[in-house]
Structure 1
Amino acid sequence: MKDFTRESLLHCPVHGYIPFTSIVPPGEVSERTLLDNPWLQRLRQIHQLQTAWWVYPSAEHTRFQHVVGAMHMASRTVDALYPSLHEVCHGDVPSRGYVECLARMAALLHDVGHGPFGHFFDAHFLKPHYGLNHEVLGAHIIEHELGELLRGVRECPNTRMADGESLDPAQVATLIMRPKTHDADQHPRWLILLRSLFCGLYTVDNMDFVLRDAYMSGYSSRAYDLDRLLRYSFFSDRGLTIHQKGMNALLKFVQTKSELFRAVYFHRTVRAIDKTLEGLFRDSRELLFPGNPLEHLEDYRGFTEWSLLIDVSRWSKFDDPATRSLGQRWDRLLERQVDWVCVEDRNQTVREGESEQTSVFADENVLEQVLRGKLPGEMRDLPMQIDLPRHIYRPDALAATAGQNFQYSPATGKVYPLTDDQLFKQLPLAHRACRIYLRKDHTSEQASAIGAALDAIVGSRGEDDLTNM
């Protein structure tokens, strides 16, 4: 009989019960130990949806809930795909227990490097000032802060590693890092194939967050057919492959993810909050964190949205005028007083063969310069913010993450690149929105002038149909 005392369950509104190891033999490390580690627990204090929780009141879920869900997705995916992985690698692959433990730990730790406000922190703090992102930080934390614990993990709820196997933290770090061109020769083939479950078109990460974000935001309680998507996925000699019977489920997944970007992640008010936050981060940077997180890991471990928002809420009481002024601006944000409002919203779809770089939407600074040149003279110094959020439907053919997904045709018995599928080819490469924001006290004349100037640059919206049909 299975020893139920060795595992624990948590209940998730998306996946139901999620098991994890709790009691293990002496000298080994349980998954509970990793879950309870401060590096994981800090993710309870970082929202999954960055700033969208200020717009969608029920979307208060955190990175912690997501990574636990991703860990569960890793088990489901390995359960479906390990037999084919073993087959295409001709047996040159670790045990099922090792692969599942590796995938679960990589899924659990893939967001461990995130700072306050997630990807926003990457874009406006880590990258511009230190050339970092949360994946680089996460890989360092995995190898240098959690490495010893990871080496002690020997089992997960479904399986156990073979005798003599020991989890390699470097392989965990490899799975969470976005691949670089020509790095495949540095890793065994089975690991390269497994990495497509972390950085391809559908992954243990996005299969969870699409379901979770759709549910928690109220967008949809059943965003796509996860069971069908996994049932018809397998590894072929080419890579991660989906049977033709699963194509509709995959297309639904891709379309739902793109809808979440348009309706939730890129909501105009969410982006207005981001624009307000940009100015606050720019002016507060030296007060927020002491320096490069790699050199201040202990401080970074305690640096979360909770700690940041508590700190800035005190600044308005400071004696120093500059800090007090910054604190008053942060207070406005905490009271959800947003500085900017969207007055124009246009969209561009980039399809195969089209160049994104030649579009007027390719660069915020260029567009702002051209737009100001089209405004009446007295409005050319009008305070404004330009936002060009971009969502990638599918990787460009030249990207390092491209070429990882394939389709099996039962009619021919052959495996083809997914990009050869006629329905898949209908999907655009990317979608970009163009939003122009003005101060809340703008006039209707100023908004109209912005619209006319944008029309002069990209063309008008066109004529409406003449009949209901």
Structure 2
Amino acid sequence: MMYAKYVKDPVHGYIGLTDVEKNIIDTFPVQRLRGIKQLSVTNIAYPGGDHSRFSHALGTMHLAGKIVESLKPEESISNDDWQLVRLGGLLHDIGHGPFSHSYEAILAPHRGLTHEDMGAKVIRKSSLSDKIRSQGFDPNELAELVFGNPKRNKYLKQIITSQFDADKMDFLLRDSYFTGVEYGQIDVHRLIQAMEVIDGDITIDKKALSALETFMIARYEMFLNVYYHHSVRAAEIMLRKAMNHARELLELTTFDDVEDFLKLDDAYVVSGLRELDPSEHEKNSRKEAKIAKETFRKLNERNLIKPAYERELHIKDEYIAKLLSDESVRTQKESEIAEKAEIKPGNVTVDVPTLASMPYYPREIDPVEIPIFEVTVEGGRNQVSLSESSQLVNVLKGYVDLLRVYTSQEHRKKIRHVSEEVFKELPFSAQLSM
């Protein structure tokens, strides 16, 4: 495993690059990630949080390689597989659009595509495909490893995409470092050292239970304090609104092929929104341009919408689950609140964390699904229940979501009172807190 060069990373120190990786990194699809913020507009609340998808990609590649190296003495992992997994870590976010998940929340409803779908397309159908092939690897196999269901050694995929993968480990450390908060500090080295493959799946030694619990707490705390911070979400809502109204004008979701998609990055959106001239458009398009431009202007001046109402929601109720996942239900509630408050519906946003719109979402992880094992007296491996081994996990299983209603400063008081009336009829289980 010879490295051709090293790059200095503030989180992991020196990260080695092989010739294969260097050649793939020096392509436009990968370099484009420098122009996409990892945390979208989180820097509106945490000024240091403006790191890129590119640095996260390098960090994920680095940790993916470390996991393979830790597993290698016990598993027959070839050097080619080591390289393939590292490439998977490098390219796992290659399909992200401008401002990451803010864009995905627009792409998904209008094109039915996620960043994973686009990632597979970029690997298979862009100029990157030829470069991967020229380095001796199959783009289809690589795309299958990262975004599909590989036919062999599924634990190799779990290194990149699972309940405790290299991606999640790097983003917790990296996002914590750049935002300046302490919540994401986890012991990745202990977690990696405690990994073993049992019955084809990566499992964690029970002896590292405290490191695993810290990992889960870090996800939860980063969600509450960074990713779902009220100002961050206000900025996200405004950015999404601006992009949505300018969607056709800026051709954000009307790309014909992968190469057109790859032209989209943060700078493309920012310059497009700033240069929008409503007078150049007719009627409906002019109205859309006005809303987009005015919303983006307010965002640039940090004139944010405000949370008028906040409520903890217990996730086990069927009605609440629908409210969290069904946009049409939230839109109906927005209209109801606006009508009762006698203001325009566009001035009310019911915000709940959904996977498409969140950088990272604690409920992606079901604690019960994280496999752990304990070593028997005879030296064997027995898989055990995580929930029975950790009281903390049982608490996290009762995780609550947050519902917020946002509006402009002038309507804040009125919307709070109306929201209290509208949501007072939520089922009793929605009113429980931890």
What TM-score range do you get, normalising by the shorter chain? 0.7 to 0.9
Shift of 1:110: 0.9
The equivalent residue for 2:100 is 118
The answer as to 2:270 corresponding to 1:309 is: yes
Deviations, residues 273-331 of structure 1 (Å, cap 9, x unaligned):
222223222221111227544x3333222211012111221114854471762434322
The equivalent residue for 1:335 is 301
The equivalent residue for 1:347 is 312
Indicate if the aligned counterparts of 2:340 and 2:418 stay in contact, CA closer than 8 A.
no
Shift of 1:419: 4.3
Tell me how far apart the structure 2 counterparts of residues 358 and 434 of structure 1 sit (CA, whole Å). Answer: 10
Indicate if the aligned counterparts of 1:364 and 1:387 stay in contact, CA closer than 8 A.
no
User: Quick one: which of 56, 63, 66 aligns to 1:66?
Assistant: 56
> Structure 1 residues 16 and 356 mapped into 2: Cα distance closer, same or farther (>3 Å)?
farther
Indicate if the aligned counterparts of 2:88 and 2:142 stay in contact, CA closer than 8 A.
yes
Shift of 1:460: 12
The equivalent residue for 1:385 is 349
User: Quick one: which of 414, 432, 437 aligns to 2:406?
Assistant: 437
Indicate if the aligned counterparts of 2:56 and 2:174 stay in contact, CA closer than 8 A.
yes
The equivalent residue for 2:203 is 241
User: Quick one: which of 24, 27, 33 aligns to 1:37?
Assistant: 27
Matched residue SS, 1:240: strand
The answer as to 2:170 corresponding to 1:170 is: no
> Structure 1 residues 336 and 110 mapped into 2: Cα distance closer, same or farther (>3 Å)?
same
The equivalent residue for 1:407 is 372
Indicate if the aligned counterparts of 1:45 and 1:305 stay in contact, CA closer than 8 A.
yes
User: Quick one: which of 191, 196, 215 aligns to 2:158?
Assistant: 196
Indicate if the aligned counterparts of 2:205 and 2:374 stay in contact, CA closer than 8 A.
yes
Shift of 1:270: 1.4
Tell me how far apart the structure 2 counterparts of residues 134 and 459 of structure 1 sit (CA, whole Å). Answer: 36
Matches within 5 A, 1:230-309: 230-289=192-251, 292-293=254-255, 295-309=256-270
**Unpaired segments ≥5 residues, structure 1:** 23-29, 87-93, 154-165, 463-469
> Structure 1 residues 302 and 209 mapped into 2: Cα distance closer, same or farther (>3 Å)?
same
The answer as to 2:180 corresponding to 1:210 is: no
Deviations, residues 400-436 of structure 1 (Å, cap 9, x unaligned):
xx85x42112357443255454313443175421001
The equivalent residue for 1:26 is none
> Structure 1 residues 68 and 238 mapped into 2: Cα distance closer, same or farther (>3 Å)?
closer
> Structure 1 residues 13 and 349 mapped into 2: Cα distance closer, same or farther (>3 Å)?
farther
Shift of 1:79: 0.8
Tell me how far apart the structure 2 counterparts of residues 251 and 212 of structure 1 sit (CA, whole Å). Answer: 19
Aligned amino acid, residue 208 of structure 2: G
> Structure 1 residues 377 and 431 mapped into 2: Cα distance closer, same or farther (>3 Å)?
closer
Shift of 1:441: 1.1
Indicate if the aligned counterparts of 1:107 and 1:204 stay in contact, CA closer than 8 A.
yes
> Structure 1 residues 270 and 290 mapped into 2: Cα distance closer, same or farther (>3 Å)?
closer
Aligned amino acid, residue 260 of structure 1: M
The answer as to 2:383 corresponding to 1:416 is: yes
User: Quick one: which of 2, 5, 23 aligns to 1:8?
Assistant: 5
Indicate if the aligned counterparts of 2:203 and 2:371 stay in contact, CA closer than 8 A.
yes
Tell me how far apart the structure 1 counterparts of residues 323 and 109 of structure 2 sit (CA, whole Å). Answer: 22
Indicate if the aligned counterparts of 2:312 and 2:430 stay in contact, CA closer than 8 A.
no
Shift of 1:81: 1.3
Which deviates the most, 340-349 or 433-442? 340-349
Tell me how far apart the structure 2 counterparts of residues 371 and 310 of structure 1 sit (CA, whole Å). Answer: 31
Tell me how far apart the structure 2 counterparts of residues 240 and 289 of structure 1 sit (CA, whole Å). Answer: 42
> Structure 1 residues 12 and 418 mapped into 2: Cα distance closer, same or farther (>3 Å)?
farther
Aligned amino acid, residue 143 of structure 2: A
Indicate if the aligned counterparts of 1:375 and 1:453 stay in contact, CA closer than 8 A.
no
> Structure 1 residues 445 and 38 mapped into 2: Cα distance closer, same or farther (>3 Å)?
closer
Matched residue SS, 2:411: coil
Matched residue SS, 1:264: helix
Aligned amino acid, residue 140 of structure 1: K
Matched residue SS, 1:84: coil
Matched residue SS, 1:442: helix
| Aligned-residue RMSD, C-alpha | 3.2
The equivalent residue for 1:129 is 110
Shift of 1:113: 1.0
Shift of 1:123: 1.9
Indicate if the aligned counterparts of 1:360 and 1:367 stay in contact, CA closer than 8 A.
no
TM-score for the superposition, normalised by structure 1: 0.79
Tell me how far apart the structure 1 counterparts of residues 28 and 219 of structure 2 sit (CA, whole Å). Answer: 31
Tell me how far apart the structure 2 counterparts of residues 238 and 69 of structure 1 sit (CA, whole Å). Answer: 25
The count of corresponding residues between Structure 1 and Structure 2 is 414
Identity of aligned residues (%): 27
**Unpaired segments ≥5 residues, structure 2:** 355-360
Q: Which of the two has greater helix per residue?
A: 2
Tell me how far apart the structure 1 counterparts of residues 411 and 351 of structure 2 sit (CA, whole Å). Answer: 18
> Structure 1 residues 370 and 277 mapped into 2: Cα distance closer, same or farther (>3 Å)?
closer
The equivalent residue for 1:90 is none
Larger Rg: 1
